[in-house]
């Protein structure tokens, strides 16, 4: 299947369109892993935290337009999510969800 030129063209086109989200997820993954290791956490914690941050980044990058951001800002969001970690993102989401609907943007 990968020996057909159409398959390679499709794969390259797909990667071009998905590159900001893929790059953002990888950035969130690596920043989270390095943050945990730098902070003295073990490999087990890094192995759990990093993919979670990558997946959170991947899901957040698909909804950037909801908040008025472009897809080009996805790597920035990935870096922020990786730096905050799962607990930081959870506390921000909880704080946002508990606000009254009238005060939300």
Residue 36: the pLDDT is 96
Averaged pLDDT, 23-30: 95
Q: What is the 3-state secondary structure (H, E, C) of the chain?
A: CCCCHHHHHHHHHHHHHHHHHHHHHHHHHHHHHHHHHHCCCCHHHHHHHHHHHHHHHHHHHCCHHHHCCCHHHHHHHHHHHHHHHHHHHHHHHHHHHHCCHHHCC
Q: What is the pLDDT of residues 27-78, one digit of tens each?
A: 999 999 999 999 999 999 999 999 999 999 999 998 888 889 988 899 999 9
Residue 2: the pLDDT is 64
Residue 1: the pLDDT is 59
Backbone dihedral region of 99: left (phi > 0), alpha (psi from -120 to 50 degrees) or beta?
A: beta
Q: Where are the domains of the chain?
A: 19-103
């Amino acid at each position: 299947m990968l020996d057909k030129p159409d398959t390679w063209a499709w794969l390259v086109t797909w990667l071009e369109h998905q590159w900001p989200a893929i790059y953002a997820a990888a950035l969130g993954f690596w920043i989270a892993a390095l943050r945990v290791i730098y902070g003295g956490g073990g490999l087990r914690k890094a192995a759990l935290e990093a993919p979670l941050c990558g997946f959170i980044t991947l899901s957040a990058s698909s909804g950037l337009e909801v908040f008025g951001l472009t897809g080009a800002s996805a790597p920035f969001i990935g870096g922020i999510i990786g730096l905050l970690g799962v607990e930081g993102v959870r506390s921000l989401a909880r704080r946002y969800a508990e606000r009254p609907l009238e005060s939300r943007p």
